[in-house]
Chain A
């Protein structure tokens, strides 16, 4: 019987997610059309008006806006996002071609972020107010306030140009993944470590921690088994949001490392006024966020028995 509320909640969430995505799809559709004309970008400036009209008609951009909009909406449930104006290929094909690189980068960056942030956050919380805490927090603050393109270039100069132990850019092997993943992870490290620190400090002051200590558990066991687990809830929320931004926020990192991901594709699509492709990438990012949020919400009920889905 207990599974039912979860299912019902999931259904409600999915319904509202669909509404959100519909809104995003609509806004993207109209906004991108306000910003310019893909035919003008595709054709050189010395094209004649007649040549423009021919191309516009063959791309279907001469149809009334309402017709184009309905056509677009009609395609969405069937996952038909139209044909990219610039690449002359189905948008889904173009997007799927770039997706693996983005997923790889986001996963690696998240792994790096957690590997650094979790120990750093714990250290800062346990050593609160002491040198360890100050050091970690200062490092984290520097990481958070340096722009990724600068960090990226710096890492390239040190590890690729100076020491030549890692490739400067490109894609393909695990070695290519290291520098972009680290660059992308730095901001997330800061966010996660800071939140973990404050959550853990809260928890470590709680009565049950005192009880745990009183019954003779060592500091490590207290912090890891009782502290970290109870502090993990807010952290998981933030990690979820970070997954969203890692997937969508890699634009600068992808530019710097010539990484063939969705972020760069989005920038190119906007520059080319590639309407269907812009619509699809915006929708992709929105869907990612919605999905991650949904998973985070649902994970609460599994992680914390006190959280019950409202019926």
Chain B
């Protein structure tokens, strides 16, 4: 025991009592801390960066010196760290718990990836540095490209697209280029299933195509016969997600590809759900011509609250000649960066550049680190465990929630449920918000559109059985409350940093920026 005089120290004894309407002076609730805006706490005279003297020099700014105040608040370093730390604690994250957002693949982000991306040899090199000084960077791109090509069984890969939707655009532009090269300018329609991500039709439209729906069968797959019937000389191709957004494998994928090819079109596969099949199935064996790979999904680069992503696109032999610039090529033991200048004769078909510089290098280093950690055997296990976890949730829920496709067989990496059977006035959103109170991020809701009140649950492979069991318990409990018409679920969440937010107000009277002044003295 301590010999220190403890007479000033009062041991606590637990005493339960009602807090009632108890309010606090600060408005905080212990560790639940509200935080004002930097504009409310900072000042124009405060800075958290020390500079030496500004050397005296004549201005060469052409008379355009800034006279008006910018209006940027500053904070000292301790205030800055505290501000953002407090904000961070109002976020849910994979590091905090299971994040079952369907089709988003919220898996653990290994910290080795972060460490490797920060090596000065990767983090501190300029995109236009002479290629002799960045051979290691080009080698990273080359090695990652080799993995992606081999894992997908394709011919080539375009590494520069900045994110999944940018990758879709890349694949669709390659298809357009191939068709144009064959004099098939009149093929202007892309067939896209209703269950597709919104980015698919948006990408098609952005690239100048029009979009037509492909009907689905009762068991949630593309209707092969209907598709065949629609194919013809005006069809540029199809955009199909496989596994699809209902979490189901498109059994007829090969037949679809064969039919589309026979009719002169191309097959774009949305690779958002590649996690379910990596190492077990190669899209190249299914006749796919182009597929983007979200490095931030399958290959564990962090989502960061909404990007940056990275969306390399693997291409078939038919589309490879049209790949965008730049790309890395190995000649002898030296790596070259093929840019506009060197595209020359044997890359003359390239459709051009999609972004400045060389793509998301910081994501490449992370993804390669992850891939090397798992290896060919580990990646295969990734697919198996992700599918196992999703089926475990599916079969543990079918007695409390309707699972529209469960009777047709197993799901892949995500399980889908509908809000059928919930009492009037209660819906998917209430189950989602109820899960928040249980300490979970909700699943993807109301997507895909083909299932009523869809709830798409993707646990990923980085959850333990204990974590799944706890989630299933919470999910069952919330679903049961909803089914029983528990009114408290309608007002959930009760325990989050905020209650339900008024999204209608935000859209009707948009407040998109702070409009107040920033004072020279910090606010009290």
Tell me, yes or no, whether A binds B. no
Chain B residues packing against A (C-beta within 8 Å)? none
